[in-house]
Amino acid sequence: MVGLALKGVGAKYGKHTVLSDVDTDVLNGGVMTAVIGPNAAGKSTLFKRIAGLAPGPGTVVLSDTLKGPETICYMPQDTGANAVLTVYESVLLASKQGSSWKVRDSELLEIDRILQALRIDDLAFRGLGELSGGQRQLVSIAQALVRKPEILLMDEPTSALDLFRQIEVLGFMRSLAAKSGMSVLIALHDLNHALRYCSNTIVIARGAMVASGPTDDVITDSMLRDIYRVEARVEMCSHGKPVVIVDHSIL
Amino acid sequence: MALAAEQLETTTGRVQYRALAFRRIVLICGMVVALFLSVSIDMALGPANYTLSEVLTSLFSSGTVSDQLRVVIWDIRMPIALMAITVGASLSVAGAQMQTILANPLASPFTLGISAAAGFGAALGLVGGVALFPAAVQFMIPINAFLMAMAAALFIHFASTMRGVTVETIVLLGIALVFTFNALLSLLEYLASEQALAAVVFWTMGSLTKATWPKVWITGAVLIFAVPLFARQAWALTALRLGEDKAASLGINVRRLRLHTMMTVSLLAAIPVSFVGTIGFVGLVGPHIARMLVGEDQRFFLPASVLCGALLLSATSVVSKTIIPGAILPIGVITALVGVPFFFILIFTNRRRAW
């Protein structure tokens, strides 16, 4: 189980600073951490910086000092729709980077297992170009999982999924994290999903971290007003779980 | 019982994948056989027609055939037949990797201006007697063509290294090069004497008739150097088709991969064009035919591109000798006439996406 802490992390594109001063306590493995914030706040940039795909100041500290950046896997929002590849091939190639041409049975069995777990095994030999956006997101999750990361950065993995699939995928990821000890950071726009599935939350706005901590403490009426510019309340539902109820936007 | 059923279920994808891979290997083997047949037929055709068995005997037991047959097959026809397959394979692989790294189905040595630059280089020598490398005036035409093709390829290559330059920009730059070099070529043609004009027109149509063993060795050597380089990057090049972000997220240094590939592709495209002139169609369509047949997993796509290009140009060579008996038509013209109907058949009968 590998935890992750961010110390003064920022990101730059050329001379232009797009993200600065992200500091967190150790985000432990086995749970999900939501990264929330308005559009263009810097959530994807933060993920790219953590994964080493964007330059910038600060340090990404892994709790297990013997582990390197290869334990971190960044999952972008989409996977190519133009490639003339089947779903199965696209997942296979995600697992084979840097290795030989030979494909072992054990590698194929692992792909079968992941596709079945995500319930997309019926799509296995369909072309990527034939899939809907939501189906491609599920393929993207499969491509990430097949690499067996210890820290997984998921960039809006449910944005194109229907409600049933959103709940199914998030529930699956939460139980997978708990079972495997994987640390999952997940960018979300639906704050109710963050409240329901994520133990911790990081709030990013205008290229800086605004808050970080346990989700129940971070998602508050005042945060919703200040960051999202909406008049909203966090209340307990009939099942005793917190939900965000939005009244109106603040003009 | 339940466990056995579950195990059976989890192996379904594996079995299907193995069957798919096997089908592709069979297809590639079939293309090797077709290529061998095409090359043999190509060598049998000419002013003196030989039977296929005479050609095969000459190939595998040259001591038992007449001197005349041996000389015709080994010294005259084989360089042309092998030039067809090395040039076809080189242009097709160059096109395949250009399309891969630029994520553009229109990318090829022809559409990125490399062939047009070579044509202009050759015309400089043919019309103005200008040798870009004066130390080897006797090889002025191919060297001029090569230097201009490399200059165009390196321009594209260095443009692609500049910050902020996208793949779309590179394709636009290539198209701009095509127009520039074609305009310069037209200017030279306008100024050329009647004899020089005929030579330029013939060169730009592409021809295999001047193939020699040294040219075959050079083209073949570049191909043999390039293909293993691409093969080593097979998974990474395949992943590039999932998009830059996805490829980078899989640990691929996209910028470096693109640069290395572009450098190799430049060489692969410039050498054949400098020897045989402008043959546009193979580099563009060879990879598309390969893609429709085996998909884009580079472990299959790379050999299929090699074979499609080689087969396309070899078959074209056969057709160019048979349309008008006794005459060999320019291969650059015939390539499209042979390839287009086949390409149409594949497009209209293939239910899978081609791009």
Of B20, B252, B299, the CB nearest to A101: B299
Mean pLDDT of A137-146: 94
Residue A61 forms beta bridges with which residues? A5
Contact A75 B291 (CB under 8 A): no
B chain contacts of residue A80, beta-carbon cutoff 8 Å: 241-243, 246
Return the percentage of chain B with pLDDT > 70, whole number: 95
Q: Which of residues 65-84 of A touch B (CB under 8 A)?
A: 70, 73-76, 78-80, 82-84
Of B11, B21, B251, the CB nearest to A112: B11
Residue B353's pLDDT is 57
Contact A88 B12 (CB under 8 A): no
C-beta separation of B210 from B203 below 8 A: no
Residues comprising chain B, all counted: 355
**Alpha-carbon distance A27 to A118, whole Å?**
25
- Provide the pairing of β-strand A151-155 with A183-187: parallel
Residue A60 forms beta bridges with which residues? A6
DSSP state of B326: T
Residue A89's pLDDT is 96
Residue A34 forms beta bridges with which residues? A186, A201
- Picking from A233-247, B69-83, B190-204, B331-345, which range would have the lowest pLDDT averaged per residue? B331-345
Q: Is residue B142 scored above 90 in pLDDT?
A: no
Tell me whether B256 touches chain A (CB under 8 Å). Answer: no
B279 versus A143: the higher-pLDDT residue is A143
Q: Is residue B354 scored above 80 in pLDDT?
A: no
Contact A112 B14 (CB under 8 A): yes
**Alpha-carbon distance B314 to B89, whole Å?**
10
Residue B11's pLDDT is 64
Locate the chain A residue with the closest alpha carbon to B300: A101
**Alpha-carbon distance A219 to A195, whole Å?**
8
Measured between alpha carbons, how far is residue A23 from residues A19, A126, A159, A228 in Å?
Answer: 12, 43, 26, 21
Choosing among A77, A84, A113, A141, which should be mutated to test the B contact, i.e. which has the most B CBs within 10 A?
A84
Per-residue confidence at A65, pLDDT binned at 50, 70, 90? Answer: confident
Residue B236's pLDDT is 96
- Provide the pairing of β-strand A32-36 with A183-187: parallel
C-beta separation of A112 from A96 below 8 A: no
- Convert the pLDDT of each residue in B292-302 to its tens digit: 999 999 999 99
Per-residue confidence at B121, pLDDT binned at 50, 70, 90? Answer: very high
Residue B3's pLDDT is 44
Which two three-digit tokens encode residue A88? 């199965």
Q: Where are the alpha helices (DSSP H) in chain A?
A: 43-50, 87-96, 105-117, 133-145, 163-180, 191-197, 215-218, 221-228
DSSP state of B51: -
Residue B300's pLDDT is 97
Residue A213's pLDDT is 93
Q: Where are the alpha helices (DSSP H) in chain B?
A: 2-10, 12-44, 52-60, 67-70, 78-102, 114-128, 140-161, 167-191, 194-205, 213-232, 234-240, 244-249, 254-276, 281-294, 298-322, 331-349
Residue B185's pLDDT is 93
Closest of A185, A203, A196 to residue A36, by C-alpha = A203
Which two three-digit tokens encode residue B157? 């290559």
C-beta separation of A184 from A170 below 8 A: no
- Convert the pLDDT of each residue in B101-120 to its tens digit: 988 888 888 888 888 998 89
- Convert the pLDDT of each residue in A154-179 to its tens digit: 999 998 899 999 999 999 999 999 99
Tell me whether A149 touches chain B (CB under 8 Å). Answer: no
Residue B228's pLDDT is 97
Residue B262 in 3-state DSSP? helix
**Alpha-carbon distance B104 to B173, whole Å?**
13
Return the percentage of chain B with pLDDT > 90, whole number: 47
B340-343 long-range contacts, Cβ below 8 Å, gap at least 24? Answer: B340/B281, B342/B289, B343/B285, B343/B288, B343/B289
A16 versus A79: the higher-pLDDT residue is A16
CB pairs A-B closer than 8 Å: 112
Q: Which of residues 134-173 of B touch A (CB under 8 A)?
A: 163
ipTM of the complex: 0.88
Residue B269's pLDDT is 87
C-beta separation of B235 from A98 below 8 A: yes
Residue A209's pLDDT is 94
Angle CA B90–B95–B98, to nearest 5: 125
Residue B282 makes CB contacts below 8 A (sequence gap 6+) with: B87, B88, B91, B92, B95, B309, B312, B313, B335, B339
A2 versus A8: the higher-pLDDT residue is A8
**Alpha-carbon distance A116 to A96, whole Å?**
20
**Alpha-carbon distance B278 to B261, whole Å?**
22
B chain contacts of residue A75, beta-carbon cutoff 8 Å: 249
- Picking from A149-158, A184-193, B268-277, B328-337, which range would have the lowest pLDDT averaged per residue? B328-337
Residue B322's pLDDT is 87
C-beta separation of A223 from A211 below 8 A: yes
Mean pLDDT of chain B: 88
Per-residue confidence at B352, pLDDT binned at 50, 70, 90? Answer: low
Measured between alpha carbons, how far is residue A141 from residues A91, A115, A145 in Å?
Answer: 9, 10, 6
Chain A nearest C-alpha distance from B34 (Å): 25
Which two three-digit tokens encode residue B323? 């349309």
Chain B nearest C-alpha distance from A231 (Å): 36
- Picking from A173-187, A236-250, B127-141, B177-191, which range would have the lowest pLDDT averaged per residue? B127-141
- Convert the pLDDT of each residue in B14-52 to its tens digit: 999 999 999 999 999 999 999 999 999 999 998 888 898
**Alpha-carbon distance A161 to A143, whole Å?**
17
Mean pLDDT of A113-127: 94
Residue A171's pLDDT is 94
Which two three-digit tokens encode residue B202? 């013939």
Tell me whether B228 touches chain A (CB under 8 Å). Answer: no
Residue B138's pLDDT is 79
B341 versus B80: the higher-pLDDT residue is B80
Q: Which of residues 88-127 of A touch B (CB under 8 A)?
A: 88-90, 92-94, 96-99, 101, 103, 105, 108-109, 111-113, 115-116, 121, 124-125, 127
Q: Is residue A107 scored above 70 in pLDDT?
A: yes
Q: Is residue B148 scored above 70 in pLDDT?
A: yes
Residue B2's pLDDT is 46
**Alpha-carbon distance B88 to B90, whole Å?**
6
- Picking from A5-19, A66-80, B229-243, B255-269, which range would have the lowest pLDDT averaged per residue? A66-80
B chain contacts of residue A45, beta-carbon cutoff 8 Å: none
**Alpha-carbon distance B40 to A176, whole Å?**
59
Tell me whether A137 touches chain B (CB under 8 Å). Answer: no
Residue B189 makes CB contacts below 8 A (sequence gap 6+) with: B123, B127, B197, B200, B201
A chain contacts of residue B11, beta-carbon cutoff 8 Å: 109, 112
A chain contacts of residue B355, beta-carbon cutoff 8 Å: 82, 84
Mean pLDDT of A104-112: 94
Closest of B181, B142, B131, B99 to residue B272, by C-alpha = B142
Residue B203's pLDDT is 84
Per-residue confidence at B1, pLDDT binned at 50, 70, 90? Answer: very low
Q: Is residue A218 scored above 60 in pLDDT?
A: yes
